[in-house]
């Protein structure tokens, strides 16, 4: 079990799907970075009721840039590469953030 988890983590951090046998969900670092960016900013936007944060992920995913930001250029490139992961995670993050705000 632990060896399978370690293998999954290594594959999720790999540079490309060509470097291992598994393809699909979270099979390279661009996918994990895009999901992380979408979830984190979506959660913050929903929990803090600051929907302007949603615009950062949407502009990165749709337009490939977010104006003046201090974001790491590699993460920006990963969101550009995997916009569907970023936008899907953004929706989930906003919903979780709003639920947290109302439940706590």
- Distance between CA atoms of residues 69 and 55, nearest Å: 12
Closest CA to 12 of 30, 26, 33: 26
- Match 């992920």 to its residue by tokens: 57
Q: Which tens digits make up the pLDDT trace of 19-34?
A: 545 556 666 778 888 8
Q: Taking the CB of residue 33, how many other CB atoms lie within 10 A of it? A: 22
Q: What is the mean pLDDT of residues 82-91?
A: 91
- Spatial contact of 78 and 72, defined as CB atoms under 8 Å apart: no
**pTM of structure:** 0.73
- pLDDT tier, 43 (very low <50, low <70, confident <90, very high otherwise): very high
Q: Taking the CB of residue 1, how many other CB atoms lie within 10 A of it? A: 5
- Distance between CA atoms of residues 83 and 8, nearest Å: 22
Q: Which tens digits make up the pLDDT trace of 74-85?
A: 777 888 888 898
Q: What would the 3-class secondary structure string for 68-81 be? A: CCCCCHHHHHHHHH
Token digits of residue 53:
């944060």
- Residue 25's pLDDT is 63
């Amino acid at each position: 079990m632990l060896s399978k988890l370690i293998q999954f983590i290594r594959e999720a951090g790999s540079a490309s799907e060509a470097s291992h046998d598994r393809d699909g969900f979270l099979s390279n670092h661009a996918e994990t970075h895009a999901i992380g960016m979408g979830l984190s900013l979506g959660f913050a936007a929903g929990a803090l009721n600051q929907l302007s944060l949603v615009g950062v992920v949407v502009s990165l995913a749709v337009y490939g840039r977010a104006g003046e930001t201090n974001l790491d250029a590699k993460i920006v490139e990963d969101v550009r590469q995997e916009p569907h992961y970023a936008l899907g995670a953004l929706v989930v993050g906003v919903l979780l953030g709003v639920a947290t705000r109302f439940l706590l």
